[in-house]
A and B are shown apart, each in its own frame.
Chain A
Amino acid sequence: MQLREVARLLNADILVGDTNLDKEVKFACGCDLMSDALAFIEDGTLLLTGLTNLQVIRTAEMLDVFAIVFVRGKVPSKEVIDMAKERNIVLMSTDYTLFEACGILYKAGLKGKS
């Protein structure tokens, strides 16, 4: 699924990376535990999370995750956004909860990886 489609379905604001919205994600993972994410996320996975700290960007960097959706309307600090920008990671913010956002994407055909 294209990131543009993800943003449309979730009615999300693009915080950084609006020139990269034609990139495709293969799977998605909703997760607030970074070590869990580190244990099983594959590259090209979309990460949905309620955490907005620097370690989320670090985790994405290590995993070659190039897109993150922050749920429940959360917007990270400028420091976090800048770090994502440097690493070419797309950040979005949606008002949906983690459960709802995952449900919407799943219904639209984006799968998890278990």
Chain B
Amino acid sequence: MEYTYNVEAGNYALAGEASSSIKALLKKLGISGDIVRRMAIAAYEAEMNIVIHSKGGCLILKISPEELILISEDRGPGIPDIDLAMKEGYSTAPDEAREMGFGAGMGLSNMKRCADEFNIKSTVGIGTKVQIKIYLK
């Protein structure tokens, strides 16, 4: 099964809707609480990054009996230095995001921690794609 959720850039009122839907769906499917929570946290960090740092994108959730895959894909400035972006504490979040409690520079490493596999690809001036896998078995 595959589900796609659009995520609007800069819309802080809607931010989190996609992750909320993903969490509700996984719960409904009877997936264990710990895994639902890990995926919800990763999805939310990805969604907030699209809202805060990109020009818009989407979250794609793929469900199979073996694993959950989450792909976060956006159009935007991309990330010039991924090693630096992965560092806890590094953030270029604008004041607007900081006022909402974001911009700690924890999101990407948080996603990695929640995942069994983590991949990030970014092209400056084009966009960013993050893929995570969580094993179900």
Contacts of A59 on B, CB cut-off 8 Å? 44, 101
Question: Which listed residue, A35, A49, A54, touches B104 by the CB 8 Å rule?
Answer: A35
Query: A residues within 8 A CB of B104?
Result: 33-36
Residues of A near B16 (CB, < 8 A) are 54-55, 58, 61-62
What residues of B have a CB within 8 angstroms of the CB of A58 in the complex?
15-16, 19-20, 44
**In this complex, what residue of A is CB-closest to B44?**
A62
Contact check, B41 vs A38: say whether CB atoms are below 8 A apart. Answer: yes
Q: How large is the interface on B (under 10, 10 to 19, 20 to 34, 35 or more residues)?
A: 20 to 34
User: Contact: A35 with B106, CB < 8 Å?
Assistant: yes
The answer to the question of B90 belonging to the interface, with a C-beta cut-off of 8 Å to chain A, is: no
Which residue of chain A has its CB nearest to the CB of B40?
A62
Establish whether residues A51 and B106, one from each chain, have CB atoms under 8 Å apart when the complex forms: no
- Contact yes or no, B20 A55, CB < 8 A: no
Q: Are B106 and A39 in contact (CB under 8 A)?
A: yes
Q: For the complex formed, measure the closest distance between the CB of B31 and the CB atoms of chain A, giving whole angstroms.
A: 14
Size of interface on A: residues with Cβ below 8 Å to B: 21
Interface residue? B102 (CB, 8 A): yes
Interface of A is mostly: helix
Check if B78 is an interface residue, CB within 8 A of chain A.
Answer: no
A37-B101, A55-B16, A58-B19 known, 6 other contacts, Cβ within 8 Å: A35-B102, A36-B106, A38-B107, A39-B110, A58-B16, A64-B33
20 A-B contacts (beta carbon < 8 Å) = A33-B106, A35-B104, A35-B110, A36-B104, A37-B101, A38-B41, A38-B107, A38-B110, A43-B33, A51-B100, A53-B12, A54-B16, A55-B12, A55-B16, A55-B48, A55-B100, A55-B101, A59-B44, A62-B16, A62-B44
